[in-house]
Amino acid sequence: MTTSTPQAPPAPAVPAAIRQELQTPMEPTPEQVRRFRTDGYLKWKDFFSPELLAFFDPIVTACLHDRNPLKDVPMEQRSAYDRAFIQVPNLWTFNDTVRELSTSVRAASAASRLLGTTGVRMYHDQALYKEAGGGFTPWHVDQHYWPIGTEKTVTIWFPFTEVPVEKGPLMFGKESHHKHIAREVAISEDSEKIIGEAIKSHRVVEEMSGYGLGEVSFHYGWTLHRAAPNTTDDSRRVLTVIYVAEDAEVIEPKYDAHRSDLREWMPGLKPGDAVDSPLNPVLFREASA
């Protein structure tokens, strides 16, 4: 018996108006930059048009279902992590249409300017779908997994539909990127307890609100965040892209999560190298850089 390799869904041409939107740089206001750097995250309304989201939603969804690693695993048999969401990374490498979304100048320019860098590279993209009835996402920090020697890292999190509170939007720990809380703790039921207790002792303010259609958020790699369960009958469909400063370097891996990420997202690189493998293209660079 042979196992067939998953075939990517068709990749339709991106309409001209949507392509223009993707290629248009974004300039955050001084107040948006201040809030992002102070709070550790920023929500940005009307970042993407409804037309863009409606076009890409079924394409990204088809890619996710095609490669869903949990499609034969009942919810009750999954770990806390797997109950939280279905995760499919590197969509940009196997679907040319999604590539235009994941590598957009629109998102990369906003990320770079919020960070205050001359440019940004991709670390990786991933679809994160919280199914109807999907569980909570435990408290965690993304950069726990990344063997990268810079704090100038940011994730854009954008849903394809509105995300009311009942659907499991992100909750952020305000200013937590400055506090060095539980940076050695991987996402798990333990991280929910450990970080939850640390948040109380450090008096970190927890903030959560729904996302309107077209609204996105940006958060630092060291910003604490979690999400509530999805209690609706519709999936919470999200694509994320992680950006790192274009001059970021690989650091010596500290634990298995680092070693795994080094192999997966920066193939062929070693500590001290620039983060410039074929999977880490520069997505935006200021003209004066």
Find the helix or strand (DSSP H, E) in which 171 lies: strand 170-173
Tell me how far CA of residue 201 lies from CA of 104, 109, 186, 206, 258, in angstroms: 40, 36, 20, 13, 28
Is a pLDDT exceeding 70 seen at residue 31? Answer: yes
Task: Tell me how crowded residue 180 is: count the other CB atoms within 10 A of its CB.
Answer: 11
The closest of 180, 174, 188 to 225, measured between CA atoms, is 174
Is a pLDDT exceeding 50 seen at residue 3? Answer: no
Domains plus CATH for the chain?
24-70+79-266 (2.60.120.620)
Which amino acid would we find at residue 178?
H
Q: pLDDT by residue (tens digit) across 115-167?
A: 999 999 999 999 999 989 888 888 898 999 899 999 999 999 999 999 999 99
Calculate mean pLDDT across residues 263-287.
97
Residue 13 to residue 4: CA distance in whole angstroms? 26
Q: What is the model's pLDDT at position 68?
A: 76
Q: What is the model's pLDDT at position 2?
A: 44
Give me 69's structure tokens.
Answer: 């690693």
Residue 211 φ/ψ, nearest 5 degrees:
-110, 130
DSSP letter for 74, please.
Answer: -
Q: pLDDT by residue (tens digit) across 72-109?
A: 556 565 555 565 668 899 999 999 999 999 999 999 99
| 66 burial type by CB count under 10 A (0-12 exposed, 13-18 middle, 19+ buried) | middle
Q: How is 192-253 classified by DSSP, letter by letter?
A: HHHHHHHHHHTTPPEEE--B-TT-EEEEETT--EEE----SSS-EEEEEEEEEETT-BB---
What average pLDDT does the chain have? Answer: 91
- Within a 13 Å sphere around the CA of 52, how many CA atoms are in the beta-carbon half? 23
pTM: 0.91
Long-range pairs for 22-25: beta carbons < 8 A, 24 or more residues apart: 22/52, 22/100, 22/101, 22/104, 22/105, 22/106, 23/104, 23/105, 23/106, 24/105, 24/106, 25/105, 25/106, 25/109, 25/284
